[in-house]
């Protein structure tokens, strides 16, 4: 299946989308590294900073269906350009604020919403409309791997910047790095759309949304993705704090986040291949169940540097590898015409869970001095997510997408 990606037209579209996601996701997933420096410099408190980042988690998801709808209506080029500019502005302005409200506006709204505009819903939707159906699964895995590679690159880079030029200089550097993705927008959007057969007559965006919200399988998919958001946001926000509680140096946190990103490159590629051979709901169920087992292992062993690196590698295999099978199910259920919008709704559910994961982690730390209850909640939710995906009524591969109207 990955052999088809070697075609120049397919390769350019896929790599351009992956490159944009590498920048937007790599930078956004590193925001947790700023909690301790911000707290020391401003005295805002971990709970207040966590709330700002939790709002960022939710706003990243909230903008996804809006950005998807705008891309479906006006095309992805102006949407992606505006997203990158907004994200760069949020990073650049953050060093100028010194209270929780200002941080919420800059990192919580501007940077996070800009990142969301240049993220999965618009990128996967744009690529799906420019790629033939037989390569979309593999392409989504490569695009997703781009985001993971960004985390692998940016987490240690940003930690080094914080240590060398301070947290303010690191944020200004992040703003400049965001702008490097602008040339890739043209590479992605210059490709012509490929005509695709859809699941029926096009009755408009709002009809598609209403049908999706009435579909039990779509609702179950969203419920499972909600727990995925809780898991990812809790860890990306508070894993540095957990490592700090164990008395380990900050470098362990940045390298753990980097290892998660590196492992997810392989996980994303594996996921892209698996959804071409197996039903995506089973792929998701296995991923979620493996998270519960991994957390149980983590709670039972001594917390050393090696433990965190092994834990990070295990987490990375399913970190954002849930995106390709989730997007595949949405495409099977409703076709590609409004995929950016409908997958955006699914990402909104993901980030509603992300809000709770980031915020409650800060509350747990402020009230109990550790993250103990959060680990148990995360493990239980992962098991529930595995079970919730099994009843989804998923059509065989491409039937829903390629069936003549």
DSSP letters spanning 55-80: HHHHHHHHHHHHHHHHHHHH-HHHHH
C-alpha span between 365 and 372 (Å, rounded) = 9
CA dihedral of residues 227, 231, 234, 240 (deg, nearest 10): 180
In sequence order, which residues have a C-beta less than 8 Å from that of residue 304 and are 6 or more positions away?
none
pLDDT tens for residues 360-376?
Answer: 988 888 888 888 899 99
Average pLDDT over residues 279-304: 94
Question: What percent of the chain is modeled with pLDDT above 70?
Answer: 92
**Confidence (pLDDT) at 141:** 79
Q: How many whole angstroms separate alpha carbon 170 and alpha carbon 231?
A: 26
Query: What percentage of the chain has pLDDT greater than the value 90?
Result: 39
Identify which of 32-36, 84-88, 155-159 has the greatest average pLDDT: 84-88
Residue 135 is given by DSSP the state G
Residue 404's Cβ-side half-sphere holds a number of Cα atoms within 13 Å equal to 0
Residues of the chain by 3-state class (helix, strand, coil), percent to 5: 80, 0, 20
Q: What is the DSSP letter of 94?
A: G
Looking at the chain, the number of H-run helices and the number of E-run strands are: 18, 0
What are the structure tokens assigned to 397, written together?
Answer: 């591969």
Tell me: the pLDDT tens digits for 302-361? 999 999 999 999 998 998 889 889 988 988 888 777 877 888 889 889 888 988 998 898
- Band the pLDDT of 399: cuts 50, 70, 90: very low
Mean local confidence (pLDDT), 37-41? 89
For the chain, which domains are there? Answer: 2-402 (1.20.1250.20)
Which pairs from 64-67 meet CB under 8 Å and 24+ separation? 64/116, 64/119, 64/120, 64/121, 64/343, 64/344, 64/345, 64/347, 64/348, 64/351, 65/121, 65/341, 65/342, 65/344, 65/345, 65/347, 65/348, 66/344, 67/116, 67/117, 67/121, 67/122, 67/340, 67/344
Decide if pLDDT at 191 tops 60: yes
Per-residue pLDDT, 65:
87
Res. 214: pLDDT tops 70: yes
How confident is the model at residue 274, as a pLDDT?
86
DSSP 134: G
Q: Give alpha helix (H) positions in 180-304.
A: 182-189, 205-214, 216-245, 250-274, 280-300
- 396 vs 367, higher pLDDT: 367
Rounded to whole angstroms, the Cα distance separating 174 from 259 reads: 20
Q: To which residue do tokens 């909230």 refer?
A: 62
The CA distance from 355 to 351, in Å, is 6
| Alpha carbons 37 and 34: distance in angstroms, whole number | 5
Contact 44, 252 (CB under 8 A): no
Structure tokens at 108: 């919580």
Cα distance between residue 382 and residue 373, in whole Å: 14
Q: Chain-centre distance of CA 367, in angstroms?
A: 28
Which span out of 1-5, 243-247, 266-270 was modeled with the highest average pLDDT?
A: 243-247
The dihedral built from the CA positions of residue 14, 16, 18 and 21, taken in this order, carries a sign that is negative
Model pLDDT, residue 5 = 61
pTM, entire model: 0.74
Angstrom CA distances, 227 to 38, 293, 346, 378, stand at 28, 15, 12, 8
* Per-residue pLDDT tens over the stretch 46-71: 888 888 888 888 898 889 889 988 98
Supply angle C-alpha 63, 66, 72, rounded to 5.
135
- Strand locations in 343-382 (E): none
């Amino acid at each position: 299946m990955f052999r088809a990606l070697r075609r120049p037209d397919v390769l350019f579209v896929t790599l351009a989308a992956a490159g944009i996601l590498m920048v937007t996701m790599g930078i956004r997933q590193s925001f947790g590294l700023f909690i301790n420096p911000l707290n020391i410099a401003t005295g805002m408190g971990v709970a207040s900073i966590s709330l700002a980042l939790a709002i960022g988690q939710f706003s990243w998801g909230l903008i996804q269906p809006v950005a998807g709808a705008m891309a479906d209506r006006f095309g992805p080029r102006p949407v992606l350009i505006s997203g990158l500019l907004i994200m760069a502005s949020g990073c650049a302005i953050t060093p100028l604020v010194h209270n929780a409200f200002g941080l919420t506006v800059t990192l919580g709204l501007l940077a996070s919403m800009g990142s969301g505009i240049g993220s999965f819903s618009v990128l996967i939707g744009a690529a799906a409309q420019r790629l033939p159906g037989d390569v979309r699964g593999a392409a989504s895995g490569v695009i997703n791997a781009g985001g993971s590679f960004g985390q692998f690159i940016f987490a240690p880079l940003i930690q080094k910047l914080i240590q060398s030029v301070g947290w303010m200089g690191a944020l200004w550097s992040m703003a400049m790095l965001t702008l490097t993705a602008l040339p890739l927008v043209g590479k992605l959007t210059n490709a012509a759309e490929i005509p695709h057969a859809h699941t029926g007559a096009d009755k408009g965006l709002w009809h598609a949304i209403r049908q999706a919200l009435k579909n039990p399988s779509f609702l179950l998919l969203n419920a499972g993705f909600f727990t995925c958001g809780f898991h990812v946001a809790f860890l990306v926000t508070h894993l540095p704090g957990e490592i700090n509680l164990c008395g380990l140096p900050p470098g362990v946190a940045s390298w753990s986040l980097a290892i998660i990103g590196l492992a997810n490159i392989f996980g994303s590629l594996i996921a892209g291949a698996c959804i071409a051979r197996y039903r995506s709901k089973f792929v998701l169920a296995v991923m979620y169940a493996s998270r519960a087992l991994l957390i149980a292992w983590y709670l039972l062993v001594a917390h050393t540097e090696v433990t965190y690196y092994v834990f990070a590698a295990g987490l990375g295999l399913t970190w954002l590898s849930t995106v390709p099978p989730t997007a595949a199910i949405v495409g099977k259920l409703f076709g590609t015409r409004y995929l950016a919008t409908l997958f955006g709704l699914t990402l909104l559910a993901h980030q509603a869970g992300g809000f709770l994961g980031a915020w409650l982690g800060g509350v747990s730390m402020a009230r109990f001095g550790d993250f103990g209850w959060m680990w148990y909640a995360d493990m239980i939710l992962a098991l529930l997510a595995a079970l919730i995906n099994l009843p989804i009524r998923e059509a065989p591969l491409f039937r829903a997408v390629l069936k003549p109207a």
